[in-house]
Amino acid sequence: MLSREIVGLLLCPQCRQGGLDASCDEANGRLRSGRLICNLCRATYAVDEGIPYLKPGKIENDPEWETWRHHLDGFAARRTLRSTIMSSPREERWSQKMQAFGEFVNVPDGRILDVGCGPGNLRRILDPKYVTYFGIDPLPVAEVEGFPFVCAVAESIPFRAGTFSSVVVRSALDHFRDLNAFFEEVSRVLTDDGQVFLEQVVHKSSGFDGVVRDSLHAVKDLIDGVRTRKQRKSAPKHMRDFSQESLMLAVEHGGFEVSRSQAHHSNWYTPTQMFFNLRRRGRKPDCQQSN
């Protein structure tokens, strides 16, 4: 769902300074197909079926991004596979986790950006009267009629500074190529008192419980890879795996700190999902933790 109002919030991902002008077919206030043009550097970006494609050129061509591109190909295949063979127990677990995360986030109002949003399921537990939901993902999704969606990457968020009061990342941080660039972008697009909410698997390789959970998670990834036959051997299933300690170190390097945290366990054999509420360092209003 793309409108001229939303275009007014966008930033050219190439020069990082110019706004975008729309030259698109329009129907009922929505932009359908055409292009967006930077009013400063004149870079152009395609709009197809209401989806603006706002990845910087280097993402498609830079050798440094090659491993990530192969990783994304495999991830796209696994996402499609999971959507076609989703079992009722897995759907129930995902629904329970979504509800738990929504209760943890509890955003009362403002604009919220979901980075790595997929089909945008998080919006279904937010009150649209008070919360305006936006999503970005490097893979186009079919459900974009229901919310403002941009095909973009976490390391180059194509929105103007101070656009969002909250940024959410659900089970996607381990698929980003450059965490420092991501946190820089998040800090830029947040309002002064904005906050970040993370949902992320953390691995515990010590102890019987941790070894079992991590081993079964690795087997699941292996089975997905065999089923899709799309994953190159040189491309990882995840760009990185996190322990809670390594994740906290990445957050600290990114200029943020934890305000709240909560552990979520879907069942006995899956890795622990952690929920984190982050704020820029020095802006933490409280410090509480629950398990």
The pLDDT confidence band at residue 138, using thresholds 50, 70 and 90, is very high
CB under 8 Å to 130, separation ≥6 — which residues?
108, 109, 110
Is the confidence at residue 274, as pLDDT, over 60? yes
Report pLDDT for 290. Answer: 44
More confident residue, 220 or 135: 135
- Give the range among 102-111, 158-167, 234-243 with minimum mean pLDDT: 234-243
Q: What pLDDT was estimated at residue 146?
A: 80
Residue 159 has pLDDT above 50, yes or no: yes
Residue owning tokens 């990185």: 240
**Percent above pLDDT 90 for the chain:** 53
Max mean pLDDT range (185-189, 199-203, 269-273): 185-189
If pLDDT is split at 50, 70 and 90, which confidence band does 108 have?
confident
Average pLDDT over residues 8-34: 93
pTM of the model: 0.86
Average pLDDT, the chain: 84
Q: What domains does the chain contain, in order, with CATH numbers?
A: 1-49 (no CATH), 55-290 (3.40.50.150)
Question: What pLDDT does residue 212 have?
Answer: 47
Residue 227's pLDDT band (cuts 50, 70, 90): low
Mean pLDDT of 253-273: 85
The pLDDT of residue 150: 96
What pLDDT, in 10s, does the model give residues 109-126? 999 999 999 989 899 888
What is the SS3 assignment for the chain? CCCHHHHCCECCCCCCCCCEEEEEEEECCEEEEEEEEECCCCCEEEEECCEEECCCHHHHHCHHHHHHHHHHHHHHHHHHHHHHCCCHHHHHHHHHHHHHHHHHHCCCCEEEEEECCCCCHHHHHCCCCCEEEEEEECCCCCCHHHCCEEECECCECCECCCCEEEEEEECCHHHCCCHHHHHHHHHHHEEEEEEEEEEEEECCCCHHHHHHHHHHHHHHHHHHHHHHCCCCCCCCCCCCCCCHHHHHHHHHHCCEEEEEEEEECCCCCCCEEEEEEEEECCCCCCCEEEC
